A and B are shown apart, each in its own frame.
Chain A
Amino acid sequence: MTTNTSPYIPNTDADREAMLAAIGVKSFEDLVQDVPAEHRFPDLDIRQSLSEFDLTAEIAALASRNATPGEYACFLGGGAYRHYIPSVVKSVVARGEFLTSYTPYQPEVAQGTLQVGFEFQSMICEITDMEVANAGMYDGPTAFAEGALMACRVTRRQKIAILDTVEPRNIEILDAYSRHQGIEIVLIGHDGDIPDDASCLMFQSPNQFGGIEDMAALADKAHAVGALAVASVNPTSLGMFRSPGECDVDIVAAEGQALGVPLSYGGPYVGLFACKDAHKRQMPGRIIGRTTDTKGRIGYALTLQTREQHIRRERATSNICTSTALIGLLMTTYLAVIGKEGFRKVAELCYHKAHYAASQIAKLSGYTVKSDGPFFHEFLVECPQSPADINRALLDRKIIGGHDLSDRSPNGMLICVTETNTRDEIDALVEALSNIGQPSAGNGGK
């Protein structure tokens, strides 16, 4: 009797023999005769299997070669943010019933996922003050791009105006998403005119330099030419700052990562997507609706599915086939735990700590805080030498410095401070910068 080699595959040799006999074939090979013989059973140059013990050791060794925020003080932002994730969030997401279920095509056996999705949509509407939201997208930037494509459908116009303070990465994604659809992208400055045949004006607040945009004025500017206002917002900032709904924005996208989702080197995250009720049938993605069952009880189901690829195929509003539900669950649980008060408090902690850090850095010789308008938890600093050099020096002091923006602002560093950065960390950063910034530190003035 041979022992199975994989703990994930239950069939024993005896099982296989019995099953092959029931199928009516002699060997497994008889089942794959349609596969061209000359290409059948290729050798795979893949390393041999590892025991669970060896596997965990190998991956732990890889993990140990990463400098990990937490061990290091970290001041990176620029689209992903380190926030405290309550223990409850991690505990809920580990539930196998959430983790190992599929898209809720069979609503009677997916009410857990569906009700969470309905909560998710409701919470997005509450924090953005928008009328409807979908059940989630891949990530913030792709949701933003889909928002612009939706504006093209709604207005039947093929031009997208985008404010030049939007994160360049978001513009790259928009380009990739729109390039084959005959859509023109026009970059405009704050003083620039929006083309009168634009489908929308896209803007981001806080913007790529951390600055808060006047969303109401930008929305007015879009509406003046019959275009929609499409905003990307930081959801944490909405604990304090004016919401896109209050500013008459038409379509809102946001990166949901900041709300309870691990940084995880950039993914998986979840894109938040909300809009005015009038446009809901042009939304991309999954949408969950409340309805009743045959006994009159409340229940939830996927709805407005005729927009989607599995029904509408090449005429769908998007090719997206996921709602990133599990990450949506993380966000929903996070907002449930921190609640109304916590949502405000976390935003305020970020705001005050970031402004404290900015005020301290502004006092250092050689460093200039370039953000002159209002900002939330990120601000641009012009450093006395290249941010890459400064960051290398910071790393020796167990600090992961700010995001290097020298490609778009001379010696620019975007520093982000959240509620996870203690005063000690901030003071240590300021102290380190003051030392590194001095000419005596070496390669200054580069």
Chain B
Amino acid sequence: MSTPFPGEIDRRLLNERSVSGRIGLQVQELDVPEQPLPDAGLLRSEPAKLPEVSQPEVVRYFTTLSTMNFSIDTNFYPLGSCTMKYNPKVNEEMAFLPGMAGIHPNQPDETVQGALQLIWELQEDLGEITGLPGVCLGPLAGAQGEYSGLMVARAYFQERGETGRTVALMPDSAHGTNPASAAMAGLEVVTVPSDSQGNVDVDALKGLVDGRTCVFMLTLPSTLGLFETNILEITKIVHDAGGLVYADGANLNALLGIVKLGDLGFDIAHSNLHKTFSTPHGGGGPGSGPVLVSESLAPYLPTPVVTRDGDAYHLGSPDKTVGRVNGFHGSFGVLVRAYAYVRAMGADGLREVSENAIINANYIRTALSDEFGIAADRVCMHECVLSPQAQKAKGTSALDISKRLIDYGIHPPTMYFPLIVPEALMVEPTETETKDTLDRFIAVMRQIGKEIYSDPDLLHNAPHDTPNTRLDEANAARNPYLRWQPDEDLSAAD
């Protein structure tokens, strides 16, 4: 090891701390007679090179690593489209109850009636909230929900003999998973342009729908944080052409008790429980992406769904199911948390969620749009997209602003998305932040706005006080170094 200096965090990997003979857990003794071993040829030739570290070292190591993260628990985290709201602690406790966390997925239905009831109730609640009564909670993330929904659409048209419907239309502001899921479902992706107000260009849409249209995939509110002004006309145009309308529910946090997707003409949707329904993001999963459909599409849902028969609940398979998209019954632990959230909020509370999310976003929009520019100058829903092009002209990019926010203890907004907005900074405050926090964010942004002129290098070199300054991501991709290797030493690089 090199000589440490003050403030340095010990970043050595576990294998670099490993000392032969140390253990982190006392494993119990064998309590049955030893049994004959199989042929040596089937056995491992040498033990896996896992670290040998004591328990206190493990705890200090992981705890220290945790302190190098920004998180909702520690920082304002206005990451647009990700809905970084407070994740209630009681939901964690509920998910870890032995009667929830300890049950095996292959247990017979009659031994897991509490779990099945919880799933059934949540299916009902999500169907009610979205106005799409056919619900499968199985998909393990939004992207898997998308793929499931698209499989439903394809199976529906296949049964009707409309096998030529192989086009997925989507706006140019769509999330990357939309085209990726469509490609996986064997659909050709055709992009619909947006108009100057950030809406879908309705005339362009009219020209693109035809007998080949399978679905139109639309995020509502859009990734610009805007409600589609012409939504009823849009769903009618697609339906008139015989297509289905898919709602990417990533931004459902704006719609709870405000409007139901089914009422607007959507046929299929997915919802991200890890966004709207407060389940923790965990540094990038686990998520849960239930797929929701209209009554006529319910027979095609993936398996399993939970059915109720009197007081008994069962895992069931819809009549014309598109099949199974994952190992068991979905992210049950995530479903417990989402159920707890819906029960804690109630109908009135859910509407309050969206109302406050929308007020908070508009408060930020109003305060910052003059100085930083805005993608579309109109009332927004739960998020707003700044577009600091004037600042870019001065030599400081959206990236620089983002990195400078870190110096103030604020997690950057989503950068450079949607792709149609130059220098996009997508800010989603959520309903769980105080006015004080928003005021501080606004003050910080204005301060940074001044720094752009007074000391632009403060931005260019930001962040300053994090465990790492800006990382050489180009080098990481050019020379991939993807695992610990025994002949390397961390100190070699200083």
Contact = CB atoms under 8 A, between A and B. Distances in A.
Interface stretch (A189-197, A222-230, A296-304, A438-446): A296-304
B264 A36 contact: yes
Most chain B beta carbons < 10 A, residue from A78, A132, A299? A299
A102 B25 contact: no
A80 B94 contact: no
Contact of A344 (B24, B47, B331): B47
Contact of A306 (B179, B477, B483): B477
B435 A266 contact: no
Given A240-B43, A289-B481, A301 B327 contact: no
B140 A264 contact: no
Contacts of B231: 36
B296 interface: no
Contacts of B340: 55, 59
Interface in B183-218: 183-187, 189
Contacts of B347: 43-48
Contacts of A428: none
B304 to A, nearest CB: 10
A349 B66 contact: no
B473 interface: yes
Interface in B128-180: 128-129, 131, 140-144, 146-147, 151, 154, 175-177, 179-180
Contact of B13 (A6, A18, A122, A288): A122
Contacts of A177: 184, 325
Interface stretch (A152-160, A310-318, A362-370): A310-318
Contacts of A305: 477
Contacts of B332: 264-268
A109 B463 contact: yes
A336 B51 contact: yes
B184 A180 contact: yes
Interface in A108-137: 108-113, 115-119, 121-123, 125-127, 129, 132-133, 135-136
A26 interface: no
B66 A95 contact: yes
Given A100-B84, A108-B468, A294-B469, 9 more contacts: A39-B260, A69-B104, A109-B466, A265-B107, A268-B285, A310-B175, A318-B184, A326-B282, A339-B50
Given A6-B349, A176-B151, A293 B366 contact: no
A122 B334 CA distance: 27
Interface stretch (B26-34, B237-245, B387-395): B26-34
B481 A290 contact: yes
A391 B25 contact: no
Interface string A56-75: 10111111111111110010
A342 B24 contact: yes
A319 B25 contact: no
A45 B364 CA distance: 32
Q: Is chain B's binding surface mostly helix, strand, loop or mixed?
A: loop
A24 B147 CA distance: 42
A185 interface: no
A203 interface: no
Contact of B142 (A49, A121, A321): A321
Interface string B410-433: 011011010000000000000111
B326 A97 contact: no
Which 10 residue pairs of A and B lie closest in terms of their CB atoms, listed nearest first? A266-B328, A63-B99, A326-B282, A49-B346, A180-B186, A96-B73, A266-B105, A268-B286, A65-B114, A322-B285
B348 interface: yes
Interface in A86-102: 86, 88, 90-92, 94-102
Interface in A383-411: 388, 391, 395, 400, 403-404
A329 interface: yes
Contact of B476 (A76, A106, A289, A403): A289
A212 B430 CA distance: 51
Contacts of B53: 336, 339
21 contacts: A8-B278, A9-B349, A31-B359, A48-B347, A60-B99, A61-B114, A62-B99, A70-B102, A78-B106, A100-B280, A108-B471, A119-B484, A262-B101, A264-B333, A268-B140, A288-B482, A303-B482, A322-B140, A326-B280, A346-B27, A353-B32
A143 B433 CA distance: 37
B38 A212 contact: yes
